[in-house]
Amino acid sequence: MGSNKTWITEVTLLGFQVYPELEFFLFGLFCIFYTLTLLGNGVISGLICLDSRLHTPMYFFLSHLAIVDMSYASNNVPKMLANLVTQRRTISFVPCIMQTFLYLAFAHTECLILVAMSYDRFVAICHPLHYTVIMSWRVCTVLAITSWVFSFLLALVHLILILRLPFCGPHEINHFFCEILSVLKLACADTWLNQVVIFAACVFILLGPLCLVLVSYSRILFAILRIQSGEGRRKAFSTCSSHLCVVGLYFGSAIVMYMAPKSRHPEEQQKILSLFYSLFNPMLNPLVYSLRNTDVKGALRRVLYKQRPM
């Protein structure tokens, strides 16, 4: 390294480069989205813990998804909101790297939890007589723990590869949080190995799980077509289609972000895509997976009824 290079101690998050009036509007809008994310996922987690009727494999995985969504949003959104209303938009380099690590860990965990949820629905619909045997609590616990541990280990690999790089500038990140591709642009060394590992991880953590999800739901679709009841078929189609929309939004935005050829404005594209899986998807998941469910609605009514004064 040349002696004229200086090491980075803090960086500036440029965020959304818009007019001040629009920044305040985005602050209010994103505040509402973030509040709904915490409220929706918090309610789901609380209901699953409090109501014994929701102590089933499906809701077990939903509780993990809710925790991931709250953690994921809380890792990225608060700093983004603060930067929208303050002139000082700097972040120390160590917290920036930690934000990158947690963002990767929670993103990986969500991918694997979605696969576990699709497998659970596949077994429930296609093999109902063997459901309690196949999806035992031991199997569910192993799937959940494996998802969390593997995701954090994979994120740790990215972290180690990032820390081996020398960072000497520029001191600006054209993003609203420390996203890994934006952080790598600060390095004053070859990041080829990092790029290869990111692409390989995407193949394994995005394309692989997406294929498994699609296979599970295609098998579910064929099983639904054999349902004799028109009402039952309509309800099943409605549930599966909404689930696939959320899965497609999450995996699709991530694949375009990390695997598709870069556009002429990659930074602006990255910001928009990051909003989908950092804010919009965690907000939609409780509505799509849980709050439309009659079991969850019944649990909510029972909890509210218990809280009423006699």
Helix then strand count (H, E) for the chain reads 12, 3
Of the CA atoms within 13 Å of residue 280, those in its CB half-sphere come to 14
pLDDT in tens, 57-88: 989 999 999 999 999 999 999 999 998 888 78
Q: How far apart are CA 264 and CA 270, in angstroms?
A: 12
pLDDT of residue 278: 84
Q: Which residues contact 5 (CB under 8 A, 6 or more apart)?
A: 166, 168, 169, 188
Check residue 143 and give its pLDDT: 96
CATH of the domain at 143: 1.20.1070.10
In a domain, 1, yes or no: no
CA 225 – CA 219 distance, rounded (Å): 10
Q: How many domains does the chain have?
A: 1
Q: Can you name the residues that pair with 13 across neighbouring β-strands?
A: 173
Tell me if 65 is assigned to some domain: yes
Amino acid identity at 212: L
Torsion of CA 33, 38, 39, 40, to 10 degrees: 80
| Within a domain: 4 | no
Q: What is the mean pLDDT of residues 284-305?
A: 77
**pLDDT tens column, 171-227:** 888 888 999 988 998 988 889 999 999 999 999 999 999 899 888 888 888 887 777
Tell me what the pLDDT averaged over the chain comes to. 85
**pLDDT given for residue 2 in this prediction:** 43
Range of the domain at 173: 10-307
Residue 89: per-residue pLDDT: 87
> Does some domain include residue 5?
no
Pull the structure tokens for residue 112.
Answer: 């694997």
Do residues 96 and 174 lie in contact, with contact meaning Cβ atoms separated by under 8 Å?
A: no
Please give, one letter per residue, the 3-state secondary structure of 48-73. Answer: HHHCHHHCCHHHHHHHHHHHHHHHHH
- 3 domain-assigned: no
Query: For 98-139, how does the pLDDT look when each residue is reduced to its tens digit (9 = 90+)?
Result: 999 999 999 999 999 999 998 998 898 888 889 999 999 999
pLDDT score at 235: 67
